[in-house]
Structure 1
């Protein structure tokens, strides 16, 4: 029960518990941790999503098994690792969030440092997600810029609006990004020439660098 209390204190109810992260935190032998987790699951204290992903259910449903929100799981596994940003949402759904398209993608795309291949598909509760490797290592300082660069790289595919119409929305989204000109140029080097031209066309480099100088 000591492990259960630790999990309850550390994660609370209805929050994803990733055994890979837990193993690093507790410095436990993998087979020992699996045995502990299995005992808790057998007692109904932990609910299993799939191998390596569990949670403490707050309430036991009247019918069927307790389930966890898929977005919570994907965020914990691929976007936020404790206090670190390791990924971001991309593709059509990001363009939709910016108000650049009315479309949404049934299969969401996530770009993450935690990708094991350039592109692969994963499923949680039969809901599918596309997982991609980033062109540059993702962190809290650069993830918004990398999101925008990915968008600009395939702009016609994701947006229904002309690029000049998107300028204010993109600049507003990048508000608060603090990177110097050299840093932005280094990230740009990972992208094709068409992306670089769109960045210069929108004045993103000057806008970000100017904010950094002011700060």
Structure 2
């Protein structure tokens, strides 16, 4: 029960618990942790989402098993690692959030550091997600820029509007991004030529360069 109380204090109820992170936090042998988790699961104190992902249900449903919000699982496993950002939402749904399209995708796309392959599909309960490996390491400082660079790389696929019509939307989204020209060039080097040309066409590079001079 000591582990259970630790989990309640650390994670609370209805929050994803990743056994991989838990193993690091407690410095436990994987087999020992697996036994502890199984005991708690057998007692109904922990509910399994899928291998390596559990949660403590706040309420037991009258029928069936307790389920966890899939967005919480995605956030914990692919978007945030404790206090670090490790991924971002991409594709059609990101374009929709920027006002570039009225379309939405039933299968959301996530780009993350925590990907074992260039592209794979994961299922959480019955909801599908496309998981892509990031071109460069994602962090709190660069994720917005990388979102935009991904968008520009496949712009025709995601947007219903010409590039010049959405310039203000994109620049506004990047309004709080503070980055040096050297860093932007480094990230751009991971993208194709057409992406770089669109960055210059948008005035994105010049905007960041001006921002760098103001900061310094």
Q: CA deviation at 1:41?
A: 0.8
Q: CA deviation at 1:212?
A: 2.7
**Cross-structure match for 2:99:** 99
Tell me, in whole angstroms, the C-alpha distance in 2 between the residues paired with 1:65 and 1:209: 54
**Cross-structure match for 1:35:** 35
Deviation by residue 1:46-70 (Cα, 9 ceiling, x = unmatched): 1111111000111111111100010
The residue correspondences of 1:17-96 to structure 2 (distance < 5 A) are 17-96=17-96
Describe the SS at the equivalent of 1:100: coil
Deviation by residue 1:126-173 (Cα, 9 ceiling, x = unmatched): 211111111111011000000000000000100111101111110111
Tell me, in whole angstroms, the C-alpha distance in 2 between the residues paired with 1:108 and 1:134: 15
Q: Which runs of 5+ in 2 are unaligned?
A: none
Tell me, in whole angstroms, the C-alpha distance in 2 between the residues paired with 1:170 and 1:154: 15
Deviation by residue 1:11-42 (Cα, 9 ceiling, x = unmatched): 11100000011111111000100100111111
Describe the SS at the equivalent of 1:89: strand
The residue correspondences of 1:134-153 to structure 2 (distance < 5 A) are 134-153=134-153
Tell me, in whole angstroms, the C-alpha distance in 2 between the residues paired with 1:3 and 1:204: 50
Describe the SS at the equivalent of 1:93: helix
Aligned residue pair count = 215
Tell me, in whole angstroms, the C-alpha distance in 2 between the residues paired with 1:194 and 1:31: 49
Root mean square deviation, CA, Å: 0.7
Tell me, in whole angstroms, the C-alpha distance in 1 between the residues paired with 2:190 and 2:30: 37
After the TM superposition, which parts of structure 1 deviate over 3 Å for at least 4 consecutive aligned residues?
none
**Cross-structure match for 1:209:** 209
**Cross-structure match for 2:13:** 13
Q: CA deviation at 1:209?
A: 2.4
Tell me, in whole angstroms, the C-alpha distance in 2 between the residues paired with 1:54 and 1:99: 36
Q: CA deviation at 1:213?
A: 2.5
TM-score, length of structure 2 as denominator length: 0.98
**Cross-structure match for 1:156:** 156
Q: CA deviation at 1:211?
A: 1.8
**Cross-structure match for 2:125:** 125
**Cross-structure match for 2:166:** 166
TM-score, length of structure 1 as denominator length: 0.98
Is 1:193 paired with 2:193? yes
